[in-house]
Structures are given as structure tokens and as C-alpha cells.
């Protein structure tokens, strides 16, 4: 490609609205341009990278036996009403009426559409398993799109849906996708982890998120230093073992004591005021959950994990009670709630189980209680893993230390079970002729987000350092003196030879000073830069610089194309 004939508008200045580096660099390098909030143009160089990610995705999905199709972006409301999701989603689901006044939406995902297609075409176990996928534009009307490609409203997703006759088959489909995802992100040159994740609102029983490790990642992940356990912070299990019974006798139940705590509400205030440690306090949190109100107890130094609470209660949603509900339930303003005397279902984190003589709110303004004890002063209906894991906790699998990191979710795979096949009657006849709901899985990859995450992980002060498999160009050729025939001819020759070999080459044939050409080449992140100048040509040499390395080297002009081609292969091979 000739730069002078291409469309690659680079900028020096950092755009003020871009808060993270990948957003800044994708704008500055001329890869994307915003049309409106959360909606972007993919400029030619950005599109080349997108298309390379898609090619890798297709190759690995096809290798896993998935079959590509393409579903519409516009979806009729009826399907979402059948699945029960039309009412469930809020304004994130962009709804509209067509000219015949029929309700429709712009597809944020395609479970309903694919299930509708399959229920019409697949009726026998002989037609299973099947995995259908597409690479298609999605629309989710995020309330606060930001970070460029990272959280936009219209985006390209590869979404796949597997259909199996039984659980064993569904497990196999999931494993095939898990392996395909590992191949895809490895081939894109990313450093990533598959972490156990919550299944969220789409139901189903299990899921993994594929996280690109980056300090600007929105998701907190924990991973074990010894075994391969890794999980989204929201999901990470807390290992709990009942400690050996305390025989020191100091766990004798002391009589309850009322303590005046005027306007003393928070854990910090209460522990300071009563000279106790947070481990001797129980926090009582009131939640609304699917219509009824419950109390959740965690130790003072722990944080409640609402996802875990929702899963323990088996409800769709939980939300923290607001101040009037707290006052209505406890008879006191927030900060004085306690379990004793509450006429509520009480759930508690495992760590509360072995607490003795602890402090809680007194369900009265400015009152706390000392020496509260389970059984005597209140009953816990259900214990569970309710708290968010902390750096001092052990790995729930092997007991070793854990570390916290941040990740960018680029892929998410789910075991869906029969949530959609039951609500939408996608049934099949099994070998015994019995009618059963098809068991599903769904698997997503954010294509644009994968490019952005690669940039988050690979950049320096000069700009992007593209992993070669997804770089818009593999080689950029920089003739420095545009009026020196010797320079131009040598540059053209290398350009022609490499292009004939099928490499993606950009020749910067603009009549501009060298400094601009160097800066643009570094900004765009082309893996290999070849510079031709009169000085080096005097000794029959050209300069080759690898974007990811600091040193450049001089190579003989007559060997240039061969050496460059070998270096390209070497860079691909180094993507482990």
C-alpha cells in the first residue's frame, strides 16, 4: 500500500476525551474516528487489524467444527417476549417500532434468534451436536460509553451457540470452545487468562471470561501463585474450613450489653469508639431480593459480595435497601442494624459462624450491642460464601497465596443449559423417542475490544507495538530522500518483492521530512521498519528496525527482501 494513496490520518496531540492509552493511540494512529457517543468509524488501518482478528477467529472456530452463518441485526420483539427478556432489560436494549408499528430491537446478542432458527430446523438427536457462529454488529445502548473500543455501543462480536442432546455433549462443546479461545487469543499475541466467572443474568450454570491482563482493565481478577485457579473477583470462591473448636473456654457467652453509640455508625467509628477490632463486629446489611426483604451478615473486616448473595438466594436480583426501608425494618436509621430482634430471613457468611460475643447494631438509633451470640440472640437461616475474597485469603483450590490483577474481558463463554430451549420450545426427540429441550452454550468475543486490549498490552511512548498477527501492516518502508532516484528505486524494489511474497507492506512515499515518517511508523506500531537513505546506500546497506526492540541493524541491500521476510516469519513464530 502506498501511504500517499492510503487514508491514514495520524495526529500528534493526545485527544482530551480519551482517558486510556488504547483509546488515545487508536485515535492518534488513525485507526478509528468517533461518529457519535460510543459509535466509531473503523478507518482503513483499524479495519485491517479488525479483519486479521476475525480471520484468526474464523480459522479457530472452523477448526473446532463450528459453522458460520449470519443473523440479522434487527430482531422482532416477539422472540424476546417468548424468552421473557423483553421486559427484563432496560434502556440498554435499543427498541423501536417499524413502519407497521411492530416492536423490534437492535440485537445486543442473539440467543433468541438462533434458538428460533434451531427450533424450526432441528428435531432429532441425529442432528446434534451443532455449533453455529457469526461475526456481526451488536448494539447495546450503554448509559456511559467510554474508553473507545473498550466500552462502545455498536461493536463487532463473534457470537457462537452450541446445541447438544445431553450434558456430556454440552460439556464437550464447552471444552472445544475453551480450547479454541485459548488458540485465538494466543495467536493474536495477547497475554491472557481464562478466569471462572459468574453467569450473570443470562442464566446457565457456568462460565469463563477470557481476560487480557492490563492494569487499566475494568475487571478485577485474582489468580493463584501456584495452581492454575483464576477467577473474576465477583466470582472468586473464599475457602472456608471450620477452625478446630476453641477449647480455651474464652468463648463462653457473655451477657448482652447495650452501649450508647451517639451517631456512631460505620465500622471505623464503632470499632474505634468501642476499642474493638473489625473481626469482633458483625455488619448487618438489609437487601430487597425479588420482592422480599432479607438481612445478610458479614464480619466487620469483610465486604459482602452481592453476586454471591444473589446466587445463594437463587434470585435474579438483589439490591441494598435504601435508608427508609432500613428504618422501616430496624426502627433505626442506617448504621444501627443488627440481627437480634429482626423478623427477617437472615443469611450469613461462613466466617460469622464461629464468632462469639461480638458487636452488632441494636436496631435502635445510637445503640449498639456487645456480646451478641448466635443461637441465643438470633438464628441464621442459611450460611454461605458471601464475602469478596481479599489478598490475605488462600487460594480456594490449593491453599497457596493469591494475587490480584486487572483484566480486560475480550471473551466470555457460558454453559446455558436449557434456559432458552425451554422458554422457546427448542425440543428434539432423543434415541428413545422422548421429547427433550436442547442443551445450549454460548460463546462471545469482542473483536474491536481484542484490538484495543492488544494495544493496552503493547505500547510505549512512541505509540502502538502491534503483535504482528494483527498489525495493519507487517512492514513499513521509509525512503528518506524522495528526490534521490537511488533511494526511490531501492525502496520500490523491496516494496515490490515483499508485496509479491504476500506480505502486508506500507511504503511511506510521502514527500515529507524523515522525522515525520519515523514518528508515524512508530505511532502506527508496524512491527518491522525498513529505512532507505543515501548515507547507508553509499555502503549498499539499508536499516531494519524491529518495533518491539530498541536496536536497529544494517543489512545489505541485495539481501534486504530475504532478510525482512525471514524476520517476519521469526516474529510470527515467536508468538508462542
CB 163 within 8 Å of CB 111: no
Element (DSSP H or E) covering residue 44: helix 44-63
Residue 61 or 93 with smaller CB distance to ligand 9G3:
93
Residue 78 or 430 with smaller CB distance to ligand 9G3:
78
* Residues within the interface to ligand 9G3 (CB under 6 A): 89, 92-93, 108-109, 111, 140, 159, 202, 412, 414, 442-444
Write down the least CB distance from residue 17 to ligand 9G3, Å.
24
SS in 3 state form for 263-311?
A: CCCCHHHHHHHCCCCHHHEEEEEEEEECCEEEEEEEECCCCECHHHHHH
Residue 414 or 495 with smaller CB distance to ligand 9G3:
414
Write down the least CB distance from residue 432 to ligand 9G3, Å.
31
Handedness of CA 56, 57, 59, 63 (dihedral sign): positive
Write down the least CB distance from residue 454 to ligand 9G3, Å.
20
Write down the least CB distance from residue 199 to ligand 9G3, Å.
9
SS in 3 state form for 422-442?
A: HHCCCEEECCCCCEEECEEEE
Whole-angstrom CA distances from 172 to 131, 166, 270 are: 11, 10, 53
Residue 336 or 443 with smaller CB distance to ligand 9G3:
443
Residue 140 or 310 with smaller CB distance to ligand 9G3:
140
CB 543 within 8 Å of CB 567: no
Residue 138 or 302 with smaller CB distance to ligand 9G3:
138
Give CA 329 to chain center in angstroms. 38
Residues in the chain: 576
User: Which SS3 state, helix, strand or coil, does residue 513 take?
Assistant: coil
Write down the least CB distance from residue 377 to ligand 9G3, Å.
43
Residue 162 or 284 with smaller CB distance to ligand 9G3:
162
Q: Locate 213 and state its grid cell.
A: 491482563
Residue 80 or 358 with smaller CB distance to ligand 9G3:
80
Write down the least CB distance from residue 453 to ligand 9G3, Å.
16
Residue 413 or 454 with smaller CB distance to ligand 9G3:
413
Write down the least CB distance from residue 126 to ligand 9G3, Å.
26
Beta strands in 426-493 (DSSP E): 427-429, 435-437, 439-446, 459-460, 463-464, 475-479
d(CA 222, CA 230): 6
Q: CB-based contacts of 164: which residues, under 8 Å, 6+ apart?
A: 128, 129, 170, 172, 173, 438, 439, 440, 441
Before 129, cis peptide (omega within 30)? yes
CB 507 within 8 Å of CB 2: yes
CA dihedral defined by 29, 34, 40, 42, rounded to 10 degrees? Answer: -30
Write down the least CB distance from residue 109 to ligand 9G3, Å.
3
Residue nearest to ligand 9G3 (CB): 444
DSSP string, 515-540: HHHHHHHHHHT-SEEEEE-HHHHHTT
Write down the least CB distance from residue 91 to ligand 9G3, Å.
8
Question: Helix H segments across 276-356?
Answer: 306-313, 323-330
Cβ neighbours, 10 Å, residue 400: 12
Residue 112 or 522 with smaller CB distance to ligand 9G3:
112
End-to-end CA distance of the chain: 29
Write down the least CB distance from residue 353 to ligand 9G3, Å.
35
Residue 142 or 251 with smaller CB distance to ligand 9G3:
142
Write down the least CB distance from residue 293 to ligand 9G3, Å.
28
Amino acid at each position: 500500500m502506498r501511504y500517499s494513496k492510503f487514508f491514514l490520518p495520524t495526529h500528534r496531540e493526545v485527544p482530551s476525551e480519551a482517558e486510556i492509552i488504547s483509546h488515545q493511540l487508536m485515535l492518534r494512529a488513525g485507526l478509528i474516528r468517533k461518529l457519535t457517543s460510543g459509535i466509531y468509524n473503523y478507518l482503513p488501518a483499524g479495519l485491517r487489524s479488525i479483519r486479521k482478528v476475525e480471520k484468526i477467529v474464523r480459522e479457530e472456530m472452523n477448526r473446532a467444527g463450528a459453522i458460520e452463518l449470519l443473523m440479522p441485526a434487527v430482531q422482532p420483539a416477539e422472540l424476546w417476549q417468548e424468552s421473557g427478556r423483553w421486559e427484563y432489560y432496560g434502556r440498554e436494549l435499543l427498541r423501536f417500532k417499524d413502519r407497521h408499528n411492530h416492536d423490534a430491537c437492535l440485537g445486543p446478542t442473539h440467543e433468541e434468534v438462533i434458538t428460533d432458527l434451531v427450533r424450526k430446523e432441528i428435531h432429532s438427536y441425529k442432528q446434534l451436536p451443532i455449533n453455529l457462529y457469526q461475526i456481526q454488529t451488536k448494539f447495546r445502548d450503554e448509559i456511559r460509553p467510554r474508553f473507545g473500543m473498550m466500552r462502545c455501543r455498536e461493536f463487532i462480536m463473534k457470537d457462537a451457540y452450541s446445541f447438544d442432546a445431553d450434558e456430556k455433549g454440552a460439556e464437550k462443546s464447552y471444552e472445544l470452545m475453551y480450547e479454541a479461545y485459548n488458540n485465538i487469543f494466543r495467536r493474536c499475541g495477547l497475554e491472557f487468562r481464562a478466569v471462572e466467572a459468574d453467569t450473570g443474568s443470562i442464566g446457565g450454570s457456568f462460565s469463563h471470561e477470557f481476560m487480557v491482563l492490563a492494569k487499566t482493565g475494568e475487571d478485577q481478577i485474582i489468580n493463584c501463585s501456584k495452581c492454575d485457579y483464576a477467577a473474576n473477583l465477583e466470582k472468586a470462591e473464599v475457602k472456608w474450613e471450620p477452625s478446630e473448636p476453641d477449647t480455651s473456654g474464652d468463648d463462653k457467652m457473655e451477657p448482652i450489653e447495650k452501649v450508647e453509640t451517639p451517631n456512631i455508625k460505620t465500622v471505623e467509628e464503632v470499632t474505634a469508639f468501642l476499642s474493638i477490632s473489625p473481626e469482633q463486629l458483625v455488619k448487618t446489611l438489609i437487601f430487597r431480593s425479588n420482592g422480599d426483604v432479607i438481612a445478610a451478615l458479614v464480619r466487620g473486616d469483610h465486604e459482602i459480595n452481592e453476586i454471591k448473595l444473589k446466587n445463594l438466594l437463587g434470585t435474579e436480583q438483589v439490591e441494598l435497601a435504601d435508608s427508609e426501608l432500613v428504618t422501616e425494618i430496624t426502627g433505626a436509621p442506617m448504621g444501627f442494624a443488627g440481627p437480634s430482634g429482626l423478623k427477617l430471613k437472615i443469611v450469613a457468611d461462613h466466617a460469622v459462624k464461629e464468632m462469639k460475643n461480638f458487636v452488632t447494631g441494636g436496631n435502635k438509633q445510637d445503640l449498639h450491642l456487645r456480646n451478641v451470640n448466635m443461637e441465643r440472640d438470633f438464628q441464621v437461616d442459611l450460611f454461605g460464601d458471601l464475602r469478596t475474597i481479599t489478598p490475605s485469603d488462600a487460594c480456594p483450590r490449593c491453599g497457596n497465596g493469591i494475587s490480584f490483577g486487572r483484566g480486560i474481558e475480550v471473551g466470555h463463554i457460558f454453559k446455558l443449559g436449557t434456559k432458552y430451549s425451554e422458554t422457546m420450545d427448542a425440543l428434539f426427540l432423543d434415541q428413545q423417542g422422548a421429547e427433550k429441550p436442547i442443551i445450549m452454550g454460548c460463546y462471545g468475543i469482542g473483536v474491536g475490544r481484542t484490538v484495543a486490549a492488544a494495544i493496552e498490552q503493547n505500547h510505549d511512548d512512541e505509540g502502538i507495538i502491534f503483535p504482528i498477527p494483527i498489525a495493519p501492516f507487517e512492514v513499513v518502508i521509509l525512503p528518506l530522500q524522495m528526490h534521490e532516484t537511488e533511494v526511490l528505486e531501492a525502496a520500490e524494489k523491496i516494496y515490490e518483492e515483499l508485496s509479491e511474497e504476500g506480505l502486508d507492506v506500507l511504503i511511506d512515499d510521502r514527500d515529507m521530512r524523515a522525522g515525520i515518517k519515523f514518528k508515524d511508523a512508530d505511532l502506527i506500531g508496524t512491527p518491522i521498519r525498513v529505512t532507505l537513505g543515501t548515507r547507508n546506500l553509499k555502503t549498499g546497506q539499508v536499516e531494519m528496525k524491529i518495533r518491539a526492540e530498541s536496536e536497529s541493524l544494517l543489512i545489505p541491500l541485495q539481501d534486504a527482501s530475504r532478510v525482512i521476510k525471514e524476520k517476519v516469519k521469526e516474529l510470527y513464530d515467536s508468538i508462542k
